[in-house]
Amino acid sequence: MIKLAKKENKFLALVIPEKDVEPFFNKYPYLQEIFEIIGEAYYGFRRDIGKNPSNKYIIVNKDEPYIEEVWDMILKGEDKKANSQSNENKKEDD
């Protein structure tokens, strides 16, 4: 299997723990409307370009002791996916 995947920052993300959402927006109510507008616009953008508009993600803190195991699992999965897609493309060319 060819190794293609590498560690990289692929997303711009702001993570607000569930327990902080209500107090945060109570303190800064104007930000809730902005947050909703950005979310709706991005949802529409993803739909318009033919992508899944509501992807779900798992977030892991980089300072967790098991982070390298998580990275290894992700990178192996990405390599497997890329190699599978590469093999499918080769079959189509035949």
What residues does each domain of the chain span? 18-56, 57-94
What's the confidence (pLDDT) of residue 13? Answer: 84
CA distance from start to end of the chain = 21
Asked if the model's pLDDT at residue 9 lies above 70, the reply is yes
Q: Is 64 left (phi over 0), alpha (psi -120 to 50) or beta?
A: beta
CA distance 30 to 61: 28
Rounded Cα distance between 43 and 49, Å, is 10
**pLDDT tens figures, 10-67:** 888 888 999 999 999 999 999 999 999 999 999 999 999 999 998 888 889 999 999 9
pTM score of the predicted model: 0.62
pLDDT score at 1: 62
